[in-house]
Amino acid sequence: MNSGTPTSRITLAIALSILLHGAALWLFQVELPNNETLLPPLSARLEALPLGAEEPMPKVEPTDPPTEPDSTITTIPEPASIPVMEASSATAATPEQESTSAIEAASAVTPTPEPESIPATETASAVAVTPKPASIPAIEAASAIAAIPEPASAIARVEEPVASHPLPKHAQLKFAVYYGQDNFQIGEITHRFEITGGQYVLKAETQTTGLARLFKNYQLIQISHGKAGDFGLQPESYEEEQNISSGKQKLNVAFNWTVNKLHFSQGSEIDLTSGTQDILSFLYQLSQLPLHHKVISIAITTGKKLEKYELEVGAEEEIITPMGKLRALPLRRLHSQDGDGMEVWLGLEYRLLPIKFRQIKRSGGMVLEVVISDIRVADE
C-alpha cells in the first residue's frame, strides 16, 4: 500500500498535469482563432478606404467658391487683358471677327463694369478698323497690277502677225533635219546671228548625223553679211561652201547697192532690185515684212540665180517640235518657176524667228523638213 500510494499519487499528479497542460493548450488554441477573427475588420477597413476616397471626389464645393472670387478678381484685370487680346487680334488677318469675339467675351464676363469696358471696345474697334484702309489699297493695287498685263497681252496677240518684231542682237538657233515623209533624221543645222555697230553676220552650219553620216558625210557652211537697221537686213555678201566626199564646192554673191547690181562668182551679174535677200538672210527678214497682207513678195538669190518669191500668209497654227508645241505663223510659196515648194513657220512666241521650214521638190518625192530644237536669244 505504502509503495502503491506514492505511485498512485505520482500517476495522479502526472494525469493532473497532463490535464492541466491539455486544458492550457486548448485554451490557447481557442484564443488564437479569436485573435485571427479580428483580421477581417482590417480587411474591411481596407475596403472602406475607396469609400473614404470617393467622398472627397464629389466635393466640388471647394471649387465653386473659388469661381466667385475668380469672377471678382477677373473683373479688375479684364480691362488690361482686353487690349492684349485686341492687340493680338489687330495683328491677325481678320481683326474684325476677333475684336467682336473679344468684346462679346468681355461683356459676358463683366456685365457691371460696362463703362470701363467701353473705352476698351473703342480702342479695339480703332485698332481693328485701322488695317482696313491699308488692306484695301493693297488689294486694289494687286488687282490693278493683275489687270494691266491682260490688255497688253491681248494687243500683242492681235498685232503679232502684223507688227514687225525687232531682231535680237545675239541669237543661236538649232534645228533637226528630217528627210522623207517618215521623218527620218539625217542631220543638224546651227544658226548663229550677231548684230554689232549696224552690221550683221549670219552663219549657218549643216552637217549629217547618225546613220546618214555613215552613208554620206556632208557639210554645208553658209555666211550672210550686211547692214542691219530699222529696215531689217540688207545683205552685202553671201558665201556658201559644201564639203562632200568628192571635194569642196564654193560660190559667193556680192550685192552692190550703189549701182544696184548683183555679182555672182561665176562672173555673171544682174540687176539688183530693192529688198533682195539671200537664201539665208530672208528667213530672218520675214519678221520685218508686212505680214498682215495675205501675200508678200520678196526677191531671193540662191547664189546661182535670182528668183521672186510669192509667199501666202496663213492663219496661226500650232506645230510640234522637240521643244514642245509652239504657236506659229505659216507662209507658203506660190507659183514657183521650177515647181519646187517651200513653207516657212515663224515663231509667234520667239520674235517671229524661223522655227520650221520645208522644201518639197517638184516631183513630190523628196521632202526636206527642218524643225527647231533649241533657241537662245539675247539683246546685250
Residues 194 and 319 reside in one and the same domain: yes
**Gyration radius from the chain CA atoms:** 53
- pLDDT band, very low/low/confident/very high, at 177 (cuts 50, 70, 90): very high
Closest to 219 measured CA to CA, from 243, 190, 252, 202: 243
Average of per-residue pLDDT across 347-375 = 89
CA dist., res. 345 & res. 319, Å (int): 9
Average of per-residue pLDDT across 210-233 = 93
The domain containing residue 29 runs over which residues? 4-54
CA dist., res. 157 & res. 208, Å (int): 37
Which of 19-33, 104-118, 161-175 is predicted most confidently? 161-175
CA dist., res. 19 & res. 13, Å (int): 10
Lowest-confidence range among 184-198, 238-252, 306-320?
238-252
Residues 245 and 99 reside in one and the same domain: no
Residue 124 counted as domain residue = yes
pLDDT of the residue at 57: 54
Average of per-residue pLDDT across 199-226 = 94
Q: Which residue has the higher pLDDT, 332 or 26?
A: 332
Whole-angstrom CA distances from 76 to 69, 99, 110, 308 are 11, 20, 9, 97
- Bridging pattern class, strands 277-278 and 295-301: parallel
Residues 241 and 356 reside in one and the same domain: yes
Q: What percent of the chain has pLDDT over 90?
A: 45
Q: Which residues, including other chains, have CB under 8 Å from residue 342's CB and lie 6 or more apart?
A: 309, 332, 333, 336, 357, 358, 359, 360
Average of per-residue pLDDT across 224-245 = 95
Lowest-confidence range among 209-213, 234-238, 355-359?
209-213
pLDDT, one tens digit per residue, over 278-315 is 999 999 999 999 999 999 999 999 999 999 999 999 99
Residues 168 and 193 reside in one and the same domain: yes
pTM: 0.57
Residue 323 counted as domain residue = yes
Instruction: Examine the pLDDT at 326 and tell me if it is beyond 80.
Output: yes
Residue 136 counted as domain residue = no
Residues 88 and 206 reside in one and the same domain: no
Residue 147 counted as domain residue = no
pLDDT of the residue at 216: 87
Instruction: Examine the pLDDT at 218 and tell me if it is beyond 80.
Output: yes
Residues 68 and 40 reside in one and the same domain: no
pLDDT of the residue at 213: 86
Residue 151 counted as domain residue = no
Residue 140 counted as domain residue = no
Residue 13 counted as domain residue = yes
Residues 316 and 297 reside in one and the same domain: yes
- pLDDT band, very low/low/confident/very high, at 94 (cuts 50, 70, 90): very low
Q: Which residue has the higher pLDDT, 50 or 212?
A: 212
Instruction: Examine the pLDDT at 98 and tell me if it is beyond 60.
Output: no
Kind and range of the H or E element at 154?
helix 149-159
Residues 117 and 25 reside in one and the same domain: no
What own/partner pairs with CB < 8 Å and gap ≥ 24 does 118-125 have?
119/79, 120/79, 120/82, 120/83, 120/86, 121/82, 123/83, 123/86, 124/82, 124/83, 124/86, 124/89, 124/99, 125/99
pLDDT of the residue at 4: 53
Residues 275 and 206 reside in one and the same domain: yes
CA dist., res. 328 & res. 175, Å (int): 16
Q: What percent of the chain has pLDDT over 70?
A: 58
Q: What is the CATH classification number for the domain harbouring 367? A: 2.50.20
- pLDDT band, very low/low/confident/very high, at 10 (cuts 50, 70, 90): confident
Residues 105 and 16 reside in one and the same domain: no
In terms of Cβ atoms closer than 10 Å to its own Cβ (0-12, 13-18, 19+), residue 367 is middle
| CA angle centred on 126, ends 133 and 108, rounded to 5° | 130
Residue 149 counted as domain residue = no
pLDDT of the residue at 369: 94
Residues 239 and 324 reside in one and the same domain: yes
Total domains in the chain come to: 3
Q: Mean pLDDT score of the chain, rounded to an integer?
A: 73
199 forms beta bridges with 196, 227
CA dist., res. 283 & res. 235, Å (int): 12
pLDDT, one tens digit per residue, over 136-174 is 444 344 444 344 444 433 333 334 444 458 999 999 999
CA dist., res. 156 & res. 152, Å (int): 6
Q: Which of 81, 114, 131 is the last residue of a domain?
A: 131
CA dist., res. 330 & res. 317, Å (int): 7
pLDDT of the residue at 278: 98
pLDDT, one tens digit per residue, over 38-85 is 444 444 444 444 444 444 555 555 555 444 444 444 444 444 444 434
Residues 260 and 328 reside in one and the same domain: yes
pLDDT of the residue at 306: 94
- What are the E-state strand segments in 32-72? none
Q: Which residue do the cell numbers 481683326 mark?
A: 95
